[in-house]
């Protein structure tokens, strides 16, 4: 009994923490519709800043709490700066660009923290006055955790009062629905958005700073925090603050339950619930999204007015000039082993593999309009599928190269059936949930997948063992894959897919089954990602769960966005630019993330349509130019 109560209280404390991490993200999304990838970085920054401030002020009660509040205020001010300097410039860009910009911030902040605080974990002092523990039913329970349990509901109530009982809150809620109209009523809505962003950042910083007595400041906290925050926000319903609270409670308690249960034997089979903690939140998210597509307390997103994203131009079949250019690139690539260094060949294999991976992701993001945060799952299924068939089933390598992608396609068929029922950010989050589930299976099933060590000795057949031979195999597969994806794009099926993306209602009315079209697209994209994954495994000779980690999915997303979502050559250019940059910078400096992030920020601010998209707009003929002066979210009757 006592241990159940203790676990329950542990669950409440972790729920409070989760709520503080997530609530700012939900607030920012609800008002600005920006999915702030850097939210976890702000949380991490709060923890580090609190460490330094308390170190300077001294561990007195005033020093401690002053340090915590000071850290949160600093992070809030940084949030305001980010909004004014970066996000404000790209509200009118396609919404995924905001995601890309905030991802660049993740990279920059990570290296800024590394530069200022160094790579060591930093453990802060205990909170004065809350350093001990109290006995609850005879079991000691940390006083500080009791304090945290109270902070969550307190923040919830204060936020509710701010949003519902002040003029500022009324204006913010109005701007959430129609920011243009708020401006036309004489309110400078830009400062409203800056304020919301600063408040969200402040809450993230506070969440981090309050963790100082509980966990050391560490460099990877940004990604774990953002992943937790996304899950809580999505389970609760994007933009719903009470929803975030409820979701935090649910996940905090379920995690505590899993730890409390430990290993349970049911009918002779031992089930390790504590192992589940790694993935349980994603299982909860997948179940919630399947049952309630908008989260526990979320509403279908009303089209927000006055955001003013430009209308993106449709992709077009290439003319003869582009076809010739494509052939020229292919010829140049074929000549590479003869002309380039061995290292260039190895790098070129990487670039080709990622080009196909990015092209497959572009296929669902562009024509099908589905953004995936978990596309690496299919890359990984292809890689693991091929490797396991080789190592465990003893199939010849050539056969596994064909069957690996089939495994990826089957995975995509299964997950896709649930994914296509959702849309927008919820869809993206469900793809992330499935990817995390697949990742945790690969990570934990030591006996079959090799667990965190992965599989080694995944080498191609003898005739392909030379780098040059493998390079030509890769080039042939990738060229064929890219060519096929382009053909599908401009087939009647591709047109139907784009019709469903641009006007679901009208496509439905002319008899197109959009869900089915999207599902097929998901399976096609999964299969091609699987080809890329299988090639990647054989090129390295080993695979690890890294191949389907979140960071791989995000890399793919960045490649597609860098190139331009609605251009077919965009992902190829994006993959080449990203892989080459990463490789070049990483060999020359410890701070490659910051340089990569700064480069991405520059590209986002200078080329709001992606590299290729912007080139097309500049070079394009008169009828290809981007519509200018579009105000409002769609053309309306004059």
Partner 1 sequence: MTAMLELEAVDTYYGRAHILSRVSFAASAGEVAVLLGRNGAGKSTTLKSIIGLVRVAAGAIRFAGERIDGRAPYEIAKRGLGYVPEDRRIFSDLTVLENLEVGRQPPRPGAPTWTEAKLFELFPNLAERRRQPGGRLSGGEQQMLTIARTLMGNPSCILLDEPSEGLAPVIVDQMAAAIRGLKQAGVTVLLSEQNLHFATAVADRAHIIEKGEIRFSGTIAELGANEAIRAAYLAV
Chain contacts with partner 1 (rule: CB under 8 A): 167, 170-171, 173-174, 176-178, 180-189, 305, 622, 625, 627-632, 635-638
Name the maximum alpha-carbon separation found in the chain: 80
3-state secondary structure (DSSP) of residue 286 = helix
Nearer to partner 1, 582 or 609 (CB): 609
Sign of CA dihedral 595, 599, 604, 605: positive
Q: How far is the CB of 637 from partner 1 (least distance, A)?
A: 6
- Pick from 99, 111, 117, 46: nearest CA to 77: 46
The least CB distance from residue 178 to partner 1, in Å, is 5
**Smallest distance, partner 1 to C-beta of residue 190, A:** 8
Nearer to partner 1, 505 or 638 (CB): 638
Helix (H/G/I), strand (E/B), else coil: 284: helix
Q: Of the two residues 188 and 468, which places its CB atom closer to partner 1 in the complex?
A: 188
All residues at 6 or more sequence positions from 170 whose CB lies less than 8 Å from its CB, including other chains: none
Q: How far is the CB of 623 from partner 1 (least distance, A)?
A: 9
Nearer to partner 1, 118 or 625 (CB): 625
Residue placing its CB nearer to partner 1 in the complex, 265 or 621: 621
Q: CA 508, 510, 516, 517 torsion: positive or negative?
A: negative
Closest CB 440 distance from partner 1, rounded Å: 39
Shorter beta-carbon distance to partner 1: residue 180 or 215: 180
Tokens of 390: 């080789």
Neighbours of 632 (CB within 10 A): 11
Gap between the Cα atoms of 379 and 338, Å rounded: 30
Nearer to partner 1, 152 or 237 (CB): 237
Rounded to whole angstroms, the Cα distance separating 91 from 124 reads: 38
- Minimum distance between the CB of residue 29 and partner 1, rounded to whole angstroms? 16
In the complex with partner 1, the residue whose CB is nearer, 320 or 622, is: 622
For residue 293, the minimal CB distance to partner 1 (Å) is: 20
Residue 564 DSSP code: -
3-state secondary structure of 543: strand
DSSP-derived 3-state class of residue 178: strand
Place of tokens 């052939």: 327
- How far apart CA 524 and CA 528 sit, in angstroms, is 6
Q: What whole-number distance in Å separates Cα of residue 150 and Cα of residue 12?
A: 9
- Point out which residues pair with 270 in neighbouring strands: 265
Rounded to the nearest whole angstrom, what is the least distance from the CB of residue 559 to partner 1 in the complex? Answer: 30
């Amino acid at each position: 009994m006592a241990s159940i109560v203790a676990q329950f209280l542990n669950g409440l404390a972790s729920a409070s923490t989760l709520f503080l991490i997530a609530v700012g993200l939900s607030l920012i999304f609800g008002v600005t519709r920006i999915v702030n990838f850097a939210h976890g970085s702000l949380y991490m920054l709060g923890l580090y800043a609190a460490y330094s401030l308390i170190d300077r002020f001294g561990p007195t009660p005033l020093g401690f709490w002053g340090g915590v509040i000071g850290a949160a205020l600093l992070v809030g001010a940084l949030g305001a700066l980010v909004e004014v300097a970066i996000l404000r410039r790209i509200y009118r860009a396609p919404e995924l660009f905001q995601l890309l910009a905030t991802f660049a911030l993740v990279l920059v902040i990570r290296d800024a923290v590394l530069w200022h605080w160094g790579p060591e974990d930093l453990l802060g002092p205990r909170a004065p006055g809350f350093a001990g523990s109290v006995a609850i039913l005879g079991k000691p329970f940390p006083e500080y955790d009791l304090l945290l349990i109270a902070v969550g509901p307190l923040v919830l109530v204060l936020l509710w009062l701010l949003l519902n009982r002040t003029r500022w809150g009324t204006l913010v809620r109005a701007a959430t629905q129609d920011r243009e109209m708020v401006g036309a009523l004489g309110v400078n809505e830009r400062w409203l958005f800056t304020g919301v962003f600063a408040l969200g950042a402040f809450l993230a910083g506070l969440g981090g700073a309050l963790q100082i007595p509980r966990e050391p400041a560490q460099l990877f906290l940004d990604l774990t925090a953002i992943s937790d925050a996304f899950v809580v926000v999505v389970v609760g319903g994007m933009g719903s603050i009470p929803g975030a609270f409820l979701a935090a409670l649910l996940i905090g308690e379920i995690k505590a339950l899993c730890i409390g249960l430990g290993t349970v034997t049911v009918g002779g089979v031992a089930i390790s619930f504590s192992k589940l903690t790694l993935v349980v939140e994603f299982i909860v998210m997948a179940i919630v999204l399947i049952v309630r597509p908008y989260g526990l307390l979320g509403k279908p997103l009303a089209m927000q007015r006055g955001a003013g994203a430009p209308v993106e131009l449709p992709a077009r079949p290439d003319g003869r000039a582009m076809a010739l250019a494509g052939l020229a690139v292919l010829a140049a690539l074929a000549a590479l082993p003869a002309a380039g260094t061995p290292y260039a060949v190895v790098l070129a294999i990487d670039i080709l593999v990622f080009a196909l991976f990015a092209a497959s992701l572009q296929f669902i993001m562009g024509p099908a309009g589905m953004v995936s945060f978990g596309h690496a799952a299919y890359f990984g299924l292809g890689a693991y599928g091929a490797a396991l068939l080789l190592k465990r089933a003893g199939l010849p390598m050539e056969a596994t190269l064909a069957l690996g992608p089939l495994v990826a396609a089957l995975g995509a068929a299964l997950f896709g059936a649930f994914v296509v029922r959702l849309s927008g950010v919820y869809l993206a989050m469900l793809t992330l949930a499935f990817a995390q589930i697949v990742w945790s299976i690969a990570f934990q099933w030591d006996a079959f997948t090799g667990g965190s060590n992965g599989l080694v000795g995944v080498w191609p057949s003898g005739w392909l063992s030379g780098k040059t031979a493998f390079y030509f195999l890769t080039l042939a597969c990738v060229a064929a894959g890219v060519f096929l994806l382009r053909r599908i794009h401009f087939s009647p099926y591709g047109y139907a897919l784009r019709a469903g993306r641009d006007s679901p209602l009208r496509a439905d009315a002319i008899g197109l089954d959009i869900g089915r079209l999207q599902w097929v697209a998901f399976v096609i994209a999964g299969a091609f990602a699987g080809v890329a994954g299988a090639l990647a495994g054989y090129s390295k000779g080993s695979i690890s769960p890294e191949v389907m980690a979140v960071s791989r999915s995000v890399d793919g997303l960045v490649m597609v966005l860098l190139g331009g979502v609605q251009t077919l050559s965009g992902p190829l250019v994006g993959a080449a630019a990203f892989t080459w940059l990463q490789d070049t910078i990483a060999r020359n400096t410890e701070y490659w993330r910051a340089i990569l992030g700064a480069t991405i920020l520059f590209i986002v601010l200078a080329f709001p349509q992606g590299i290729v998209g912007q080139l097309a707009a500049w070079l394009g003929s008169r009828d290809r130019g981007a519509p200018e002066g579009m105000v409002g979210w769609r053309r309306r009757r004059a």
